[in-house]
Amino acid sequence: MSSTFQSLVGVDLHQCTVTLAAVDPLGARIAQLKISTKSVGKIEEWLSALPQPVHLAVEACPFVEWFIERFRPSVERIDIADATELANRRGKRRKTDRNDAQDIAQRLARGECPLGFIAPPELMQFRKLGRHWRCLSRLLSRTKHSMKSMLHAANIRGPKFDGASAQRWLLANRDLLGAVQQDAFADFIDILNLVERQRERLRRQMIFASRSGACAPTIARLMTVPGIAEVWATTIAAEIGPFERFPNADALEFWAGLTADMKESAGRTQSGHITKAGSATLRWALGKAAVTLCQCDARQEATRQRLIARLGKPKANVAMARRLLRILYAMMRDGQAYQGGPRRDRTAAANRARLGRKKQVA
C-alpha cells in the first residue's frame, strides 16, 4: 500500500489516444480520463485537479518518451511500467484501455507495479546521438550496396566506396555506364558526400559529449577495449545507463535482448532466436564492436572461429556480442580495464585472407 502519495495514476498510451486512471492509496477509484494525445493542456488540468502529491506510471511503448518529457513537471514522481511483466501478471482478463490503466494504478497503490528505468535528460541526449549515428550508418551502407549492385550488374570492378574516390572513378570511367546509370551513380555519390559530412559532424559532437558529460568515467573505461572508440563507447554507455542497476551479467544480457528464446513443448526444450527485447542500437553497437575486437585480440578471434565452425558466422557474431557485453559488465563491476589476449596483426591476417582468395580463383 502506498501512503506517500495521495493519488496513484496509471496510463495506457497509444499514438492517438491516452487513457488515465487515478486511485487513492487504498486502491479506490478517484477519476478516469480518455482523451486525444494532442490535448496536453486538458491532461495537465486533470492531473493538477487530483489530490496531491501524484505518482504516475505509464506503460512502456515505443513512443512513450514525449509523454514523460511533457508531464514530468506536472507530477511528483513519474515511472515507466514494464509492459511485458504486466501482461504476464494480468492473466486472461478482458483487455481494454480503461482496464489496463486501472490495473497499473491499483498495482502502484499496492506497491506491486513492475517499474522500469527512465534515463535522465543528459543520458537521453547521449542515446539520441547514438541512435542518429546508427541511422546514418545504415543509410550509408544501403547507398554503398546499391552502388556495388549497379556495378556488378554491368560487370565492372568499382572503386573504394567513399565520396571522393567514387567521384574520381566516375569522372574517369563515365563511359563504362549507360546514361541512366551515370545519373543514378552520381545521385548515390551525392548521398555519400552528404552522409559522410553529417557523420563527421556527429562524430565530433559525440567525442565532445563523451569527454565532458557525467558518463565520461564509464566511457573512458569502455575505451580500454580494443575496437571501442569514442563513438561505440558513447553509444553503449548511453544505451545501458548505470551498470550497477543490473544485479548480474545475466540480467543485463536478458535486458539487452541477447538471450535465446526458449521454447518448451511435450517435455522438450529448444533454444530459438534471440529475444531482441532491448535496444536495437545497443545490439548493433555490440555486434560491430565485437567483430572489431576479434580483429585485434587473438584470443577472442580464436573463440569466434570455433563458433563459426560450429554455428556459422551470423550466430557466431551474435555470440561474440553477448560475450563482449558480459566482459563489459565485469569491467564495470570490478572497476578494471580490459585484460585482453595477445595482439593480432590485422594487416597480416588480411593479407593472408586475400592470398587465400586469389589461390581459390586460380
Tell me the per-residue pLDDT of 14-62, one tens digit each, with 9 for 90 and over: 999 999 999 999 989 999 999 999 999 999 999 999 999 999 999 988 8
Indicate the SS3 state at residue 80.
strand
Q: What is the model's pLDDT at position 1? A: 47
Lookup: cell for 343: 595482439
Lookup: cell for 48: 493538477
CA distances from 59 to 80, 112, 117 (A): 6, 14, 12
Separation of alpha carbons 348 and 301, rounded Å = 14
- Residue pair 26/109 in contact by the 8 Å Cβ criterion: yes
Among candidate residues 296, 292, 288, 286, the one with its CA nearest the CA of residue 323:
286
Separation of alpha carbons 11 and 4, rounded Å = 19
More confident residue, 271 or 361: 271
Give the burial class of 133: count Cβ atoms within 10 A of its Cβ; 0-12 exposed, 13-18 middle, 19 or more buried: buried
Tell me the per-residue pLDDT of 89-125, one tens digit each, with 9 for 90 and over: 877 667 889 999 999 999 999 999 999 888 888 888 8
pTM of the complete model beyond 0.75: yes
Lookup: cell for 102: 486501472
Tell me the per-residue pLDDT of 124-182, one tens digit each, with 9 for 90 and over: 888 999 999 999 999 999 999 999 999 999 898 877 777 788 888 888 988 888 899 99
Q: What is the model's pLDDT at position 213? A: 74
More confident residue, 248 or 347: 248
Separation of alpha carbons 252 and 232, rounded Å = 18
Residue 119 gets which letter from DSSP? -
CA distances from 324 to 215, 252, 254, 310, 329 (A): 19, 12, 14, 19, 9
pLDDT over threshold 50, residue 81: yes
Residue that the C-alpha cell 549507360 belongs to? 178
The mean pLDDT value of the chain amounts to 89
Separation of alpha carbons 211 and 194, rounded Å = 26
Count the residues in the chain: 362
- Residue pair 1/26 in contact by the 8 Å Cβ criterion: yes
CA atoms 222, 227, 229, 232: torsion sign: negative
Tell me the per-residue pLDDT of 195-223, one tens digit each, with 9 for 90 and over: 999 999 999 999 988 887 778 899 999 99
- Residue pair 226/296 in contact by the 8 Å Cβ criterion: yes
Q: Which residues of 302-334 are buried (b: 16+ CB within 10 A; e: fewer)?
A: ebbeebbeeeeeeebbbbbbbbbbebbbebbee
Mean pLDDT of all residues in 70-76: 93
Mean pLDDT of all residues in 218-232: 91
